[in-house]
Structure 1
Amino acid sequence: MRTNASRLIELVGVHKSYNLGMPNEAEVLHGVSFAIGRGEFVALIGPSGSGKSTLLNIVGLLERLTAGSYRIQGEETSGLDDAGLTLRRRAVLGFVFQFHHLLPAFSALENVTLPALMREGRVTPAQHERARAMLAAVGLGNDLHKRPGELSGGMQQRVAIARALVLEPPLVLADEPTGNLDRAASDEVFVLLRRMHAELQTSFLVVTHDPRLAARCDRVIELVDGSIESDRFAATVPE
């Protein structure tokens, strides 16, 4: 496990099993340990079925681990109830998915203000301005009032990135954020992620099947059969 003096998240000996106590019980993660520091840009790679989605769901506080320890900003999460997990998720994490999950009846601006609405129950004028600024930052300053159906796939993903970053979470989890795009749009979105990382110093954990994109991350964690096979700087990853 890579050590970091400024750990944002830390997993130690994390196991995840499904159907506990049943004949078809299956363990998906087998003692996974790693830490991510503030400002890191990390790729999570591995073959299909290796446990990447399960691991990302645990990091995202969407699933509970079966055994082990998971700390966010030094706080152990395994003892939190559902309400506590929700509060930590909203305070610390942003999410970008392969499929953008934008609300089709909402404008780009309204979609980007959703995290503030969910966290605080309202959207302040300052938060509206922040959402406008984020859309401008991702190149959509002239598309604030367009609905998702009026935007290209790459533009929709840019809205999703703005939504994930609008409250400036310490960590953004991106699950195949370019997996539904063609190569040109994929490269544009990835360049945008790297630029926002540099500007905001937000940490990123990016799940990707694309070795080209993994090679452009700072660090690569490889998961194989539910265990970490390697944890290395991306310079060792072939183009």
Structure 2
Amino acid sequence: MAAPPAREALIALTDIKKSYNVGRPSEAEILHGLDLRVEVGEFIALMGPSGSGKSTLLNLLGLLERATAGKYRLQGEAVQDLDDAALTMRRRHILGFVFQFHHLLPAFSALENVTLPALMDEGRVSSVQRERARSLLDAVGLASAMDKRPGELSGGMQQRVAIARALVLNPPLVLADEPTGNLDTASSAEVFALLRRIHVERGTSFIVVTHDPRLAARCDRLVELVDGQIARDEAIADGAEPVPSVLPVSRP
């Protein structure tokens, strides 16, 4: 009997390079031939010192920037040569984003902020989408705050609204860039626990950029960048602290 075909990776990067022009004829190469495979359902911590290329890599994964060279397959599709309109559609329906700063619209209620991606996607919010937004706010513990504006919410509550917003179109992958970096210790722990619960209950895949080894230790896998290259990629045992990172000075 033939073996079943291998499951397609959620993300497959092959020899990815990224350069920025810093004045002709010179250019700065930030990522130096990265290979990375992300399976469906993984919860990954992305770490590294400042200037290591984390934000550049996250922007590439989020289809916000294009690689200079290499291949990027997202759900089995080669996306590096798609036009901007096609990238926008895949970004809306495959990816959710959570940032360090929540970027909520101050004049909108929590519910209206959560439904915003649906409004941008279709020009209207259906009753089904509105109900999903309500369900998500309930799931993140904000059932009683749906009509409140961001200014009436704590920092941790605002970040929970942002998480609900990232999930409203039911993306298979959420990219989180320092989602707890602007919060106090207690709120940080609550928000991270919420991400983990969503991962377990909904099967959503996560790639979380963090500088906090305590949070990274609660992920399933650690990917560490140093000077635009993957210096470490390893599974994290349940409850184990990752070994201390070796963080050499980044390239000038």
Asked if Structure 1 and Structure 2 have the same fold, meaning a TM-score greater than 0.5 normalized by the shorter chain, the answer is: yes
State the alpha-carbon separation in 2 of the partners of residues 97 and 74 from structure 1.
Answer: 26
State the alpha-carbon separation in 2 of the partners of residues 28 and 87 from structure 1.
Answer: 27
Contact 1:215/1:238 (CA < 8 Å) preserved in 2? no
For residues 142-201 of structure 1, give each alpha carbon's deviation from its aligned partner in whole angstroms, at most 9, with x where no partner exists: 000000000000000000000001111010000000000011100000000000111110
State the alpha-carbon separation in 2 of the partners of residues 12 and 21 from structure 1.
Answer: 28
2:37 — aligned with what? 35
Contact 1:168/1:200 (CA < 8 Å) preserved in 2? no
State the alpha-carbon separation in 2 of the partners of residues 174 and 202 from structure 1.
Answer: 12
1:59 aligned partner, one-letter code: L
1:237 aligned partner, one-letter code: P
- Of 152, 162, 165, 1:163 maps to 165
State the alpha-carbon separation in 1 of the partners of residues 181 and 236 from structure 2.
Answer: 20
Using the aligned pairs only, state the percent identity.
70
Over 3 Å counting, the alpha-carbon distance change for 1:238 and 1:20 in structure 2 is closer
Q: What are the within-5 Å matches in structure 2 for residues 7-86 of structure 1?
A: 7-19=9-21, 22-86=24-88
- Of 76, 95, 98, 2:97 maps to 95
State the alpha-carbon separation in 1 of the partners of residues 137 and 175 from structure 2.
Answer: 19
TM-score, normalisation: structure 2: 0.91
Contact 1:58/1:64 (CA < 8 Å) preserved in 2? yes
2:249 — aligned with what? none
RMSD across aligned C-alpha pairs, in angstroms? 1.3
Does 2:239 correspond to 1:237? no
| Partner-residue secondary structure (3-state), 2:143 | coil
In the TM superposition, what is the alpha-carbon distance from 1:21 to its structure 2 partner? 7.8
Number of positions where the alignment pairs a residue of Structure 1 with one of Structure 2: 236
Write out the 4+ residue segments of structure 1 that deviate beyond 6 Å after TM superposition: none
State the alpha-carbon separation in 1 of the partners of residues 101 and 153 from structure 2.
Answer: 14
Larger radius of gyration: 2
1:158 aligned partner, one-letter code: R
Contact 2:17/2:33 (CA < 8 Å) preserved in 1? yes
2:113 — aligned with what? 111
State the alpha-carbon separation in 2 of the partners of residues 238 and 31 from structure 1.
Answer: 25
In the TM superposition, what is the alpha-carbon distance from 1:5 to its structure 2 partner? 3.4
State the alpha-carbon separation in 1 of the partners of residues 71 and 24 from structure 2.
Answer: 24
Contact 1:18/1:27 (CA < 8 Å) preserved in 2? yes
1:180 — aligned with what? 182
In the TM superposition, what is the alpha-carbon distance from 1:238 to its structure 2 partner? 3.9
